[in-house]
Each structure stands twice: as structure tokens, then as C-alpha cells.
């Protein structure tokens, strides 16, 4: 019968399951060979239907350390109204929740009044995992309803940026205006505030007129620019600001940097760069292979005997991600670095310009990044693993390597 009612993942006859005998549902839930997509609906169908005499045995199974994880989670759903399971539930989840099952358990803890679940709930409600975020949001609603918002906020330490992020999520979930967090001195908190309240267009518009700092106004503008309804108001602010201007940094380099590091940008990057990524015209895509062939041809024509190029990642054991290729020479002269961000090239050793290499490449339209240009600071741009090192230079970002892919930042 169950096979017919649940023939495949996400194909469930819920009404039919409610008519299946309790023993048959329990048999499916407790069967380690049964696929999760059958066990889960059976567990849901059992909620509120388990006879009292069966509860103690099921609770013992949940407490069994050897119980298969999927069965244990399904049984926890079945027994979600049993307050005596709280110690077991609390020991089974962590602050860093990544899976829907863990989010389900957090929600159950909240429904049972477990206030210690608050940090993990608040940490997950902003997750990109939509189902987990929704479950944790329901858990937060339950805690707010039981204890009150003001009482819950006292559980956070406002000296800690991560706690301020959790607090603003709880406040926003409860319907409070959290635009005040756009002025938080920690950019990670301010960025989270911009992300959290980006749909509160009316509040953001009002905030623009009395933002306490120029950067807070930029965060509000960035939040507005990320939504269709707020875009017109952001356009007006950006139009008054104009493009980013950094002393010694021209438009070509600026656009190459901002549209590359829009993806790689760390949490401490300022809102001005984020706005620039939304509004400035991206440069033409770089044909890396074609560019390297042109470099090699120019060098060979100048009699410089270039060796085959290698990715900058090979300089670091072959892992990670680099924004340059390196080209050596048969005569042992200093290697050439070729940026993947555009027509930018430079020598590997700062302070030592190889005039012959430079002339050969500039004659073919490449742009040599000399020491003066390479040393220009790129303020307020934090990149990946260098997130806590904001003093990057043009050379740093045009010829960059990191041990992580952008997706893990």
C-alpha cells in the first residue's frame, strides 16, 4: 500500500497515508532499507497517531546512539510533542546548521520552548537553503510568541558582530525596522542588514534622508538597488555620486577590478564598490587563450624565447584560483605575469622592469603595470581569504591568487 501511495520522491498521497494503519507506517519508518523519501512522509502521517503504549519503545530507539540517522530524524518528527526528548534533541544539533533535518529538529526544540536553540535558529534563518530557513523562521516565531522579543534579544552579546547579525535577523522576523543596523561599524553586520531589509523599500527611502553616516546611506542605496521597486531611488543617489574615483586608478583598471571581484568580494568590502558593480559597464570578456597566444607571438617576434605559460595556481601547488598566467624565458630572465582581467602585464619582480619585454608587449597593445601604478591602493576592497587585509594594491588584485574558489567565500 505505501509503495502505491509514495511511488517516487516528492510524489505523496498525504490523504491516503492518513488512512494507513499505524503499525504499517511504523514499519516503514523503522526500516533502514526503506528510502528516506518514503520514511519521511510516513513519519509525518504518524504525528499525533502513535498509541501511548508504543511511545516509550520509540523514545528508547531515538536515544539509541546506534540508531540510523534517517530513522532517528523521522522518529523525532513523530515524537515532536514529547518534552522529555529535549536533551536528546539538543545534543543532536549544532550552531552551524546545513541540512533540512537539523533545521527540523531546531524547530521542534523551539516549539517545545528550548530557548538555547535561539542562536542556531537565528543563524540559519538567513540561509540560502530555503527550506531550512523557513523551518528555522517558524522556530523563531514560536520562541518570540512564548518569551517575547525583548527577552530573547537579551540572549545576544551586542559586543560580538555575529550576535548582532543574529539579533537583527530575529528583530526583522518579528517585523521590526532594522535599518539602524546599516550604520553598524562592522561591515559584515551592515551588509547583512542591507540584505535583510532590501525589500523594506519605504523604510529604506525614509532612512536615506537621515542616515547617520555617508557609508550607512550607501548601504541603504545598495539595498534599494538590489530590488526592482527600489531601483529608481538608488539610481538617483548613484547619479549624484558618479563612478568610483580612486587617485591613480583609471576607468579601465577600475572596471576590470570591480566586475571581477563582485563575485570574489569579501564581507568587509565597502558598499561603494558593490554599487559600482551594479551600475558600471563591465569590460569585454577576456579571451585568455587568445591573449596568451598574442603575448607569446609578440615575445617570440622580439627574439625573447618565451616558454609555455602556466596558470598562477601552479605557483602554489596547482590549487586555488589565480587571476594571472606566468611566462618564463629560456635565457632565465624574470618571468612575465599576464593578467586574466584584461590587457595587463608586468614583471614578476617588482622594481625590475625588463625593457625589452615591456617594449615588445606595449607595441602589441598590452598595458604594462609599472611599479607606480601597481602600488596604487585599492581602498575598501576585501577579497576572499584577504578579507581581513583591506590594504590591497592594484598589483595585488590584477595578479592575484587564493587557495579558495569564490563559491566557498
- Confidence (pLDDT) at 324: 92
Does residue 250 fall inside a structural domain?
no
Three cell numbers, residue 32:
533502514
Does residue 144 fall inside a structural domain?
yes
Residues 157 and 192 in one domain: no
**Which residue range is the domain that position 369 belongs to?**
288-408
Q: In angstroms, rounded to a whole number, what is the distance separating the alpha carbons of residues 220 and 34? A: 50
Does residue 282 fall inside a structural domain?
no
Give yes or no for a contact between 306 and 327, defined as CB atoms under 8 angstroms apart.
yes
Give yes or no for a contact between 6 and 37, defined as CB atoms under 8 angstroms apart.
yes
Last residue of a domain, one of 165, 200, 222: 165
Residues 160 and 187 in one domain: no
Residues 158 and 186 in one domain: no
Three cell numbers, residue 104:
527540523
Residues 48 and 148 in one domain: yes
Residues 196 and 313 in one domain: no
Q: What's the whole-model pTM score?
A: 0.73
Domain count, the chain: 3
Q: In angstroms, rounded to a whole number, what is the distance separating the alpha carbons of residues 197 and 379? A: 26
Residue 89's alpha-carbon distances to 15, 104, 174, 244, in angstroms, are 29, 10, 25, 51
> pLDDT tens per residue, the chain (409 residues)?
899 999 998 899 999 999 999 999 988 988 888 888 898 888 888 877 888 888 888 887 777 777 776 677 677 777 766 766 666 666 554 444 445 667 777 888 888 888 999 999 998 888 777 878 888 899 999 999 999 999 999 999 999 999 999 999 999 999 999 999 999 999 999 999 999 998 899 999 999 989 999 999 999 999 999 888 888 888 888 888 877 778 878 889 999 988 887 766 667 788 988 888 888 888 999 999 999 999 999 999 999 989 999 988 777 666 667 889 999 998 888 899 999 999 999 998 877 778 999 999 999 999 999 999 999 988 888 776 554 555 789 998 899 876 555 443 3
Residues 45 and 188 in one domain: no
Q: Which of 213, 280, 207, 271 is nearest to 242 (CA)?
A: 280
Does residue 12 fall inside a structural domain?
yes
- Confidence (pLDDT) at 103: 79
Residues 65 and 147 in one domain: yes
- Confidence (pLDDT) at 407: 40
- Confidence (pLDDT) at 192: 93
Does residue 171 fall inside a structural domain?
no
Residues 189 and 322 in one domain: no
Sole residue written with cell 523594506: 200
Residues 133 and 16 in one domain: yes
Residues 211 and 135 in one domain: no
Q: In angstroms, rounded to a whole number, what is the distance separating the alpha carbons of residues 228 and 112? A: 40
Residues 237 and 308 in one domain: no
Does residue 258 fall inside a structural domain?
no
Does residue 175 fall inside a structural domain?
no
Q: In angstroms, rounded to a whole number, what is the distance separating the alpha carbons of residues 59 and 53? A: 11
Provide the b/e sequence for 42-66 (b: ≥16 CB within 10 Å). bbbbbeeebeeeeeeebbebbeeee
Residues 157 and 198 in one domain: no
Does residue 270 fall inside a structural domain?
no
- Confidence (pLDDT) at 86: 65
Last residue of a domain, one of 165, 196, 214: 165
Amino acid at each position: 500500500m505505501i509503495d502505491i501511495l509514495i511511488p517516487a520522491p516528492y510524489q505523496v498521497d498525504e490523504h491516503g497515508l492518513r488512512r494507513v494503519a499505524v503499525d504499517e507506517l511504523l514499519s516503514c519508518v523503522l526500516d533502514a532499507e526503506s528510502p528516506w523519501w518514503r520514511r519521511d512522509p510516513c513519519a509525518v502521517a504518524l504525528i499525533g497517531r502513535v498509541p501511548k503504549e508504543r511511545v516509550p519503545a520509540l523514545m528508547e530507539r531515538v536515544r539509541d546512539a546506534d540508531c540510523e540517522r534517517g530513522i532517528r530524524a523521522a522518529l523525532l518528527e513523530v515524537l515532536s510533542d514529547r518534552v522529555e526528548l529535549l536533551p536528546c534533541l539538543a545534543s543532536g544539533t549544532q550552531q552551524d546548521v546545513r541540512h533540512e533535518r537539523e533545521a527540523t529538529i531546531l524547530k521542534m526544540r523551539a516549539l517545545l520552548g528550548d530557548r538555547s536553540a535561539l542562536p542556531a535558529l537565528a543563524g540559519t534563518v538567513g540561509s540560502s537553503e530555503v527550506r531550512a530557513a523557513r523551518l528555522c523562521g517558524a522556530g523563531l516565531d514560536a520562541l518570540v510568541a512564548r518569551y517575547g522579543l525583548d527577552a530573547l534579544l537579551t540572549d545576544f552579546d551586542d559586543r560580538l558582530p555575529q550576535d548582532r547579525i543574529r539579533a537583527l535577523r530575529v528583530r526583522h522576523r518579528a517585523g521590526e525596522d532594522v535599518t539602524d543596523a546599516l550604520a553598524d561599524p562592522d561591515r559584515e553586520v551592515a551588509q547583512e542588514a542591507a540584505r535583510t531589509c532590501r525589500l523594506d523599500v519605504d523604510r529604506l527611502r525614509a532612512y536615506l534622508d537621515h542616515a547617520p553616516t555617508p557609508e550607512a546611506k550607501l548601504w541603504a542605496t545598495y539595498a534599494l538597488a538590489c530590488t526592482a521597486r527600489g531601483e529608481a531611488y538608488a539610481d538617483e543617489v548613484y547619479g549624484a555620486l558618479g563612478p568610483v574615483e580612486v587617485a591613480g586608478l583609471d576607468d579601465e583598471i577600475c572596471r576590470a577590478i570591480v566586475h571581477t571581484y563582485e563575485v570574489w568580494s569579501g564581507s568587509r568590502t565597502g558598499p561603494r564598490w558593490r554599487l559600482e558593480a551594479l551600475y558600471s559597464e563591465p569590460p569585454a570578456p577576456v579571451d585568455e587563450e587568445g591573449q596568451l597566444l598574442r603575448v607569446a607571438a609578440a615575445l617570440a617576434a622580439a627574439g625573447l624565447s618565451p616558454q609555455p605559460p602556466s596558470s598562477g595556481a601552479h605557483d602554489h601547488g596547482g590549487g586555488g584560483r589565480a587571476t594571472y598566467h606566468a611566462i618564463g624565458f629560456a635565457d632565465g630572465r624574470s618571468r612575465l605575469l599576464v593578467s586574466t582581467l584584461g590587457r595587463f602585464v608586468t614583471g614578476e619582480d617588482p622594481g625590475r622592469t625588463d625593457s625589452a619585454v615591456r617594449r615588445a608587449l606595449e607595441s602589441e597593445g598590452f598595458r604594462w603595470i609599472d611599479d607606480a601604478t601597481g602600488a596604487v591602493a585599492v581602498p575598501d576592497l576585501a577579497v576572499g581569504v584577504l578579507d581581513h587585509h583591506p590594504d590591497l594594491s592594484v598589483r595585488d588584485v590584477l595578479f592575484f591568487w587564493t587557495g579558495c574558489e569564490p563559491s566557498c567565500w
